[in-house]
Chains A and B, each alone.
Chain A
Amino acid sequence: MDFDRIKEKLNILADAAKYDVSCSSSGSKRKNTNKGLGDSSGMGICHSYTEDGRCVSLLKILLTNHCIFDCAYCVTRKSNDIKRAAFKVQEVVDLTINFYRRNYIEGLFLSSGIFKSPDTTMERLVQVAKKLRLEENFNGYIHLKSIPGASDELMYEAGLYADRLSVNIEIPTREGLQLLAPDKDRKDFLQPMKKVKNEIVRYKAERNIIKSTPKFAPAGQSTQMIVGATNETDAQVMYTAAYFYKKYQMKRVYYSGYIPVSYDPRLPSIGTDVPLLRENRLYQADWLMRFYGFSIEELLNKEHPNLDSDVDPKLSWALRNLHLFPVDVNKADKQMLARIPGLGMKSVYKILGARKYRNLNWEHLQKIGVALNRAKYFMVCNSKEWEKKDLSAMNIKGLILQNSKSKFRNTYNNQLNLFDKQDALIQY
């Protein structure tokens, strides 16, 4: 192995791949068979964390950063003057195996710029996965990027060797895509996604009859949207996400705050802050939708096209729906408990378990780990004290904000409303 050469390529092609957020390595159920190498049947593992706090679970690289497309938001766009490189198939295989054996990674996340044509690119990606599985008996995690415009046959083959496949739709709205990536067509993203979804459904049905049916993309599909590159609303982003969860049975939709990589006048200029708080709120809304039984219409609608920046989406929903509170934690069902601000699903399950033995009071709840600074206004328990009394939504919000800290506090003030000003006056 020529280490110097590999090092140079790795630097270029890891740097270019880092804007892909997904790093999950869970949900695959691929077991080690016949004393091979690797096992991805357990939970995902983050082997390290970069200095920006993101997990490093997979070797995330591009096969090449040569690209025939010129999407304005992308760092590897054709017109960008950067160093280009390309890995050989065997080089990627060797790197993956050697990193995996040293317990650096859970597997490989291979993406690529599009060279020559979508099919040539996809074919090369599939070759890497195939070699790892068949020649190296590798059972670690493989995430392949589905190249927009790749043929159904290649997507089918990819699903046989990969654990997860993903196509990034990148821009949440049709108009935005038209503006920033005029050579790309939304149809080209959706076609591979649809093919993979249909095959997953078919394989699942077959496995119900014949148990030995091989696996097909067992960790499902994911996608990613850039937020803050065009002037889309949170509602547009989240309704698109909800559509993909439902229609394409996505395992995950990732939201990536736009990191300025270009002086293109269509985009936020270099030096603009990455919208980290917005990204955070979108993920919170995503979780509420997937694990807390909220429907998207409850969180975002015509009256509320954007999520609040100063409070989380669940608290924001609760403040709009005070008539449903307070909830009695010793009696309420799981769904209603999950809707109390300050209660995560872990606390919900603890409460459901613990209240079978005795009625819970404030002290119990605090010890269990409930975030009472928010929750206390929305619940009653085995105690005569009750915090809400006759407070209005504005009062509650003010009290909660006064008694909490957030590293994003300075970011809130972008859109100071009248109420926040009052709050600010009280503080200083």
Chain B
Amino acid sequence: MIFIYDASFEGFLSSVFAAYEYRCKTPKIVKKEKFIGDFFEDVEEVITSEEKSARVWKKITEKCGTRGSQQIYWSFLSELENIENTLFQYIQHALVSAKDITKDYAHPAVLKVAQTVKQVGREKHRMDAFVRFRKTKDDIFFATIAPDFNVLPLNAKHFKNRYADQKWCIYDVKRNYGIYYDLEKVEVIQLELPTSILETSTDFFTTEEIQFQHLWKNYFNSTNITSRKNTKLHQQHVPKRYWKYLSEKYL
């Protein structure tokens, strides 16, 4: 049976609930936007329910602990194809075993989840590192990113702790939403961004801002040791797809 849902995490948990309700052991759980129709299998459109998803979440947390349930959430944010089905197998495995299964790495779903969590964690950490704030004329430190996985919800806490005394906004241009901190709390926002936002145009940014970008790039070049050049290692640490958001690389 195929369950289609609204792409939210609660929607996914509601689909797990539905699969158990239908006693379906091998469901396919697919995001509605990705679903292309199937003539041979039954299709059920799941309605996201706060109550059902909360029940599933509670059960998962009981069985897997906070660490295990967090791993499920992180893997979900990877948005990888079929990750829902891996997660369903993981949850199934957790619910039937008496023991805590989060370290059963010889089980394919557990290993896959562990590996996905690692990938998502790496991407989250990269965003902590590669966000480059640019100061706008109205004193907001603004950054654009386009991470491989949907990690922005995981970054909020880090930036809130660190930049408690400045207004900032990090915008995911790939998924078209951002997080904004107004000196009190972090909110999710959606903006109509002009396409020129990537260039530091003086319509939005101060001239001082551009000077600092140049200073940073200068520093970046001065701190390099040419006799130790190692391009392969450099690109392994800073893959090219991130370069357009790093002023030291694009300037």
Residues of A within 8 A of B (CB): 1, 3, 6-7, 10-11, 14-15, 17-19, 31-32, 35-39, 41-43, 45-56, 59-60, 95, 98-99, 101-104, 137, 259, 274, 276, 350, 353-354, 356-358, 360, 364, 367-368
Contacts and interface: CB of A to CB of B under 8 A. Distances in A.
Given A15-B222, A15-B223, A50-B224, A350 B105 contact: yes
B47 interface: no
B223 A37 contact: no
B63 interface: no
- Between B99, B111, B231, the greatest number of chain A beta carbons within 10 A of the residue's beta carbon is seen for B111
B226 A358 contact: no
A45 B129 CA distance: 6
B224 A52 contact: yes
5 smallest beta-carbon distances between A and B, as pairs: A53-B233, A353-B103, A52-B228, A14-B222, A354-B105
Given A7-B215, A14-B223, A32-B164, A47 B103 contact: no
B122 interface: no
A368 B224 contact: no
Contacts of B216: 99, 102, 104
A60 B211 CA distance: 19
Interface stretch (B14-22, B72-80, B130-138, B190-198): B130-138
Contacts of A350: 103, 105
Contacts of B224: 18, 50-52
B237 A357 contact: no
A156 to B, nearest CB: 29
Contacts of A3: 211, 214-215
B104 A357 contact: yes
Interface in B71-95: none
5 contacts: A1-B211, A15-B223, A35-B183, A49-B237, A51-B226
B18 to A, nearest CB: 29
Name which of A14, A49, A276 has the most chain B CB atoms within 10 A of its CB. Answer: A49
Interface residues of B, number: 54
Nearest to B134: A102
B165 A37 contact: yes
A60 B223 contact: yes
A18, A47, A48, A358 — most chain B CB neighbours (10 Å) = A48
Contacts of A364: 105-106
B229 interface: yes
B99 A52 contact: no
A354 B103 contact: yes
Nearest to B242: A48
A38 B215 CA distance: 21
A101 to B, nearest CB: 6
A274 B227 contact: yes
Contact of B166 (A6, A10, A99, A101): A101
Contacts of A32: 161-162, 164
A103 B128 CA distance: 8
Given A18-B225, A38-B162, A48-B246, A10 B220 contact: no
Given A6-B215, A102-B135, A42 B228 contact: no
Interface in B115-165: 125, 128-135, 141, 143, 158, 161-165
A98 to B, nearest CB: 6
Given A18-B222, A52-B224, 19 more contacts: A7-B218, A14-B219, A31-B161, A39-B161, A41-B161, A45-B128, A48-B129, A48-B246, A50-B224, A51-B230, A52-B230, A53-B234, A95-B215, A103-B131, A103-B132, A259-B228, A350-B103, A357-B99, A364-B106
A360 B238 CA distance: 36
Contact of B132 (A46, A54, A104): A104
B141 to A, nearest CB: 6
A283 to B, nearest CB: 14
A37 to B, nearest CB: 5
B231 A51 contact: yes
Contacts of B111: 367-368
B225 A259 contact: yes
B141 A276 contact: no
Contacts of A37: 162-166
Contacts of B230: 51-53
Contacts of A38: 162
A52 B224 CA distance: 6
Nearest to A360: B106
Interface string B26-67: 000000000000000000000000000000000000000000
Given A104-B216, A259-B228, A47 B141 contact: no
B107 interface: yes
A11 B218 contact: yes
B162 to A, nearest CB: 5
B204 interface: no
Contacts of B223: 14-15, 17-18, 50, 56, 60
